[in-house]
Chains A and B, each alone.
Chain A
Amino acid sequence: MLYYIGSIALILIGIYAVLTKKNLIKIVIGLSILDSGINLLFISIGYVKNATAPIFSNDALTADKMVDPVPQALVLTAIVIGLAVTAVALALVIRLYDHHKTLNINKIRQLKW
């Protein structure tokens, strides 16, 4: 239950940073926090009380005392793709700084090509 509150708080903080901040790197930090919040929400949906990890390491573990493995497989992909998106966004920020010499989005809007 506490996991739901924490992850929804992270998602809202991430969206707030993307909507209101004026520095480009703060916006990319907000995107990264949004990714982390969504991944935590997914894993905490698949949890079963008093169950263990989905690995059959010895023969005493049966299949009805394990947590759900499908959200874990989805989040594994999502974490790696979140890193790729952050890297490409930061490359674009570096290119914009080379051209306009500033990182404020109000000033970049005023300088036309």
Chain B
Amino acid sequence: MSWLAILVLILVVVMVAAAIFAITRKDLIIAVIGTSVISVVLSVLFYILQAPDVALTEAAIGVALSTIIFVIAIKKTDRYEE
């Protein structure tokens, strides 16, 4: 196994673990942090798949703007589930 394959395996495992983490926590702010971890790992995976335009778009939109819109919506409503 080359080093690149091991790196991709670690990144995919971190991404799926962050997704499961994001839908099973009761504190909603921590769930949103899980979503932004998915976006960061996705941006690195897009770069490894030789797509620099898409990696730049995902890093600019998914990490900064999507997270801040979620945090504003949580601040207007309840923070904990039920």
A and B touch in the complex (CB under 8 A): yes
Chain A residues within 8 Å of B, Cβ to Cβ: 2-3, 5-6, 9-10, 13-14, 16-17, 21-23, 25-26, 28-30, 32-33, 36, 39-40, 43-44, 47, 51-53, 55, 67, 72, 75-76, 79-80, 83, 86-87, 90, 93-94, 97, 103-104
> Given the known A-B contacts A33-B38, A47-B49, are A2 and B9 also in contact in the complex, defined by CB atoms under 8 Å?
yes
Flag if A17 contacts B23 (CB, 8 Å): yes
13 sampled A-B residue pairs with Cβ under 8 A: A3-B49, A6-B12, A10-B38, A25-B28, A26-B81, A29-B31, A29-B70, A36-B38, A67-B50, A79-B58, A80-B61, A86-B69, A86-B70
Given the interface pairs A3-B12, A90-B73, the reply to whether A26 lies near B57 with Cβ below 8 Å is no
Which residues on A sit within 8 Å (CB–CB) of B39? 36
- Chain A interface mostly helix, strand, loop or mixed? helix
